[in-house]
Chains A and B, each alone.
Chain A
Amino acid sequence: MRNLLNFLLNYGYWILFLLLEVASFMLLFRFNSYQGSVGFTSANWIAGHIYTVSAEVSSFFKLRSVNHRLTQENVTLQAENKALREALQRTVSEVGDKAIAPDLQKDDYSTIPVHVINNSLHLPDNYLTLDKGAADGVAPEMGVVGGNGVMGIVYMVSEHYALAISLLNSKSSISCKFKHSDYFGYLKWKGGSPRHALLEDVPRHALFQKGDTIVTSGYSAVFPQGLMVGTVDSIADSNDGLSYLLRVQLATDFACLDNALIISNDHREEQHALETKAQQVP
């Protein structure tokens, strides 16, 4: 008995060491499947607050470049506005007022403006921390979009913060298509450059070329159709040779993120329920 006690006194730290390592590994492995683990991420209350303050400070220093970008965006938008106005006038004068459809766009999607308060680029799995949470109507599996294009998908939410899977995450998979045709594939990221991602499963008979624009397909109901994702950068064959593997230059620069919109599809539940039901039919 005394020997045992002596042993425990002398080598008990081994047991503590093993216990702590087991705890760490449990966190490591359960994070992916365990939704309650949001407390162990930057979306918890303390980390969220600290990142909010830090994001406010750094966005102050970014104001100059943001201004610059906004001015540029303004110029392009004005030019586009002018072109559209002219086109509209031409159409109206050609066919008369009545022909313009009253509902050009179905209003299925609503948006929530958010700030990105933390993000990373160089890990194998990168996440974005956003400053709105369940209290503001954010729920998992909503899309996150920035001024330039798609950023990611909401993964976990706490009361006032949300953690989103960035496009730069091995778990990210977004259904995308070409802007000018309906051939689609899945956008994945396998590490490496934070400016590029891969578009997989594009069929062999799809027609496209370098520089073509990739947009969201709208199939998954997370994103509406036609949101900018990026442009085709280079073309290769997939490993099995059955489809194309495209390197996509991402439209979003993940190194400088600030303002974003969370997109919530008001009919997502309905579509999801229908799809699950269809899968259950034998």
Chain B
Amino acid sequence: MIITFLKRFSWFWVLVLVQALILNNVHFFGYATPFLYIYLLLKFDANMSRYSLLLWGFSLGLAVDVFSNTPGVNAASATLLAFVRPFLLKLFAPRDSADDFSPGIHSMGLAPFMRYASVATLVHQSALVLLVTFSFAQPSVMLLKVVSGTLLTTLCIWGVEVAKK
């Protein structure tokens, strides 16, 4: 129990620091920034309670916000992601999987996991871009940001997932 918590806690800080110190400075073509920190939310066990999922999501987003001077933006979108994650998992997980599996390429298979990860990233990225710009003045730029950010983040998630094995 404590070991699981410590493991999650260290993942939490590693992802926040990687996000703050490296990925926040990445801007492919001036638009696409990877938001890899949501990897933590995607990887929690499938039977984790919705309450702790929400609290982890909120604190993760808040920590990233503090480092990037965007109070509330990442907190709101990560909370949203934590909220929709159980629905997404139900939608994309193979029917015969156990109750307490940890979502991943290994446990779900490549295609289902990537579908799950990319839709989750899309939800998070749309909320994020909407909150950062806070206007519909340039819909094409926003769309470009959402799509490019989603692609890049999904790619990063795939990279970490493969590298971990």
Partner of B132, one of A27, A31, A123, A129: A123
Closest to B69 in A: A127
Partner of A120, one of B24, B83, B131: B24
Per the bound structure, the CA–CA distance linking A31 and B75 in Å amounts to 14
> Could you mark each residue 57-85 of chain B with 1 if its beta carbon is under 8 Å from any beta carbon of chain A, else 0?
11001100111111111011001100100
Closest to A27 in B: B72
Per the bound structure, the CA–CA distance linking A142 and B8 in Å amounts to 42
24 interchain pairs (CB within 8 A)? A12-B51, A16-B54, A16-B55, A20-B58, A20-B75, A21-B76, A23-B58, A23-B75, A24-B73, A27-B62, A27-B75, A28-B76, A28-B131, A31-B71, A31-B72, A40-B62, A41-B66, A54-B21, A118-B67, A123-B69, A123-B132, A124-B132, A125-B69, A129-B69
Chain B residues contacting A163 (CB-CB under 8 Å) are 69
Name A residues whose Cβ lies closer than 8 Å to a Cβ of B.
Answer: 12-13, 16-17, 20-21, 23-29, 31, 37, 40-42, 44, 47, 50-51, 54, 118, 120-125, 127, 129, 163
Within 8 Å of chain A (Cβ to Cβ): is B50?
A: yes
Within 8 Å of chain A (Cβ to Cβ): is B27?
A: yes
Per the bound structure, the CA–CA distance linking A25 and B68 in Å amounts to 16
Cβ of A42 and Cβ of B76 under 8 Å apart? no
Partner of B72, one of A28, A118, A125, A127: A28
Within 8 Å of chain A (Cβ to Cβ): is B125?
A: no
Q: Given the interface contacts A37-B71, A122-B33, A124-B133, does A27 sit within 8 Å of B54 by beta carbon? A: no
Within 8 Å of chain A (Cβ to Cβ): is B105?
A: no
Cβ of B33 and Cβ of A17 under 8 Å apart? no
Q: How far is the CB of A44 from the nearest CB of chain B, in Å?
A: 7
Partner of A20, one of B69, B70, B79: B79
Chain B residues contacting A24 (CB-CB under 8 Å) are 58, 61-62, 72-73, 75-76, 79
Per the bound structure, the CA–CA distance linking A210 and B54 in Å amounts to 54
Given A124-B133, A163-B69, 16 more contacts at CB 8 Å?
A: A16-B50, A16-B51, A16-B54, A17-B83, A20-B79, A21-B76, A21-B79, A24-B79, A27-B72, A28-B71, A31-B71, A40-B66, A42-B67, A50-B20, A118-B67, A120-B68
Within 8 Å of chain A (Cβ to Cβ): is B30?
A: yes
Within 8 Å of chain A (Cβ to Cβ): is B17?
A: yes
Counting from the closest, the 9 A-B pairs by CB-CB distance are A28-B72, A27-B72, A24-B76, A13-B50, A24-B75, A27-B71, A24-B72, A40-B71, A127-B69
Interface residues of B in 113-165 (CB under 8 A from A): 131-134
Chain B residues contacting A44 (CB-CB under 8 Å) are 66
Per the bound structure, the CA–CA distance linking A244 and B75 in Å amounts to 41
Cβ of B72 and Cβ of A42 under 8 Å apart? no
Per the bound structure, the CA–CA distance linking A41 and B72 in Å amounts to 11
Chain A residues contacting B27 (CB-CB under 8 Å) are 121-122
Cβ of B21 and Cβ of A47 under 8 Å apart? no
Interface residues of B in 17-42 (CB under 8 A from A): 17, 20-21, 24-25, 27, 30, 33
Per the bound structure, the CA–CA distance linking A23 and B62 in Å amounts to 10
Q: Given the interface contacts A12-B51, A23-B58, A124-B132, does A42 sit within 8 Å of B73 by beta carbon? A: no
Q: How far is the CB of B42 from the nearest CB of chain A, in Å?
A: 18
Cβ of B72 and Cβ of A25 under 8 Å apart? yes
Per the bound structure, the CA–CA distance linking A17 and B131 in Å amounts to 17
Q: Given the interface contacts A12-B51, A13-B54, A28-B131, does A47 sit within 8 Å of B72 by beta carbon? A: no
Cβ of B51 and Cβ of A50 under 8 Å apart? no
Q: How far is the CB of A61 from the nearest CB of chain B, in Å?
A: 13
Chain A residues contacting B70 (CB-CB under 8 Å) are 123
Cβ of B71 and Cβ of A120 under 8 Å apart? no
Closest to B30 in A: A122
Per the bound structure, the CA–CA distance linking A16 and B79 in Å amounts to 10
Partner of A47, one of B67, B71, B79, B132: B67
Q: How far is the CB of A73 from the nearest CB of chain B, in Å?
A: 26
Chain A residues contacting B66 (CB-CB under 8 Å) are 40-42, 44, 47
Q: Given the interface contacts A24-B61, A28-B73, does A42 sit within 8 Å of B131 by beta carbon? A: no
Closest to B75 in A: A24
